[in-house]
Amino acid sequence: MITRPHKPVRLRAVHRGPNRRGIRRGVSLLPSLFTLANLFCGWACVVHAMRGEFATAAPFIGVAIVLDMLDGRIARMTGTTSDFGVQLDSLADLISFGMAPAVLVFQWGLLPLGRLGWAIGFLYLTAAALRLARFNIQAATDKRYFVGLPSPAAAGIPAATVLYFPEALATYPLALLGMTMLLVPALLMVSTIRFQSFKTLDLGIKRGYRGLVIVAGVIAILVAYPHETLMVMAYFYFASGFIGLLMGRKAADATEHVEGDRLAEEKDAG
């Protein structure tokens, strides 16, 4: 019997591409990492405020605001939105935009008020919790507006003010001003006044360089005059809700006046 020699079997190396599952898992964790960084900023603000380092504590709230804006956008861009991320984001926001501003302002300007300062700080924290809870359960009707002052914008008011005036308020009359600065945003958070949302804001980036020029201009102003620019931005957004409310009422009155004139003309013609 003639046997043919066996041909050597060549083992081909199996080339495996990148671990797509690992990459997907890493991308899904990216928004949560931004949320945890947001949470850390709130904690750092509390620590520095308790030490009396107000000029160091206040900027952490501003960084937390930027991180809060980024984590949601990154989750939507990567398609990794989840209920877990929503809940984690709300808990982080409660610390960074509820607890941190309350502790910061209490240490900075409410100590002369004694127990009243405790109550005002707790009222602000409660308003932030209610604002976040209402935002989580309410149906999205108009994405152009927020119902009530958003908690990051509310936290930006005391943060910008403390950054501009880092010296603690040592007298009772000045402490009353600090109380007002914390009390008014707290009431606006649980109000029904509408504030502009920037999620649908179109700066024209897709159509040209106008948006990039605007962003570059804002960055340049922030670098040149950081304290003044942050103060103007915080209080302008705060006032925008009242401006929109007045303009809406004037538009409604004008519509009612035109409708009344139309009905009167139809009645005379009949």
* Nearest Cα to Cα of residue 86 among 148, 124, 44, 31: 31
199 or 212, which is more confident: 212
* C-alpha–C-alpha distance, residues 207 and 42, integer Å: 37
* C-alpha–C-alpha distance, residues 187 and 148, integer Å: 9
Q: Is the pLDDT of residue 174 over 50?
A: yes
30 touches 74 (CB < 8 A) = yes
Q: Kindly state which CATH superfamily the domain 29-199 is placed in.
A: CDP-alcohol phosphotransferase transmembrane (TM) domain (1.20.120.1760)
Say what the pTM is.
0.80
DSSP string, 28-67: HHHHHHHHHHHHHHHHHHHHHHHTT-HHHHHHHHHHHHHH
Mean pLDDT of 183-207: 77
Q: What is the CA radius of gyration of the chain?
A: 27
113 touches 169 (CB < 8 A) = no
- Give me the residue spans of the domains in the chain: 29-199
32-83-74 Cα angle (round to 5):
40
Which residue intervals of the chain are DSSP H helices? 20-50, 54-78, 83-94, 100-105, 115-137, 151-164, 172-189, 210-224, 226-269
User: Which residues in 132-156 are b (16+ Cβ under 10 Å) and which e?
Assistant: beebeeeeeeeeeebbbbbbbbbbb
* Lowest mean pLDDT, pick from 72-76, 166-170, 195-199, 249-253: 249-253
pLDDT of residue 13: 47
Bridge-partner residues for 196, per DSSP?
A: 145
87 or 201, which is more confident: 87
* C-alpha–C-alpha distance, residues 76 and 74, integer Å: 5
* C-alpha–C-alpha distance, residues 100 and 93, integer Å: 10
* Mean pLDDT across the chain: 83
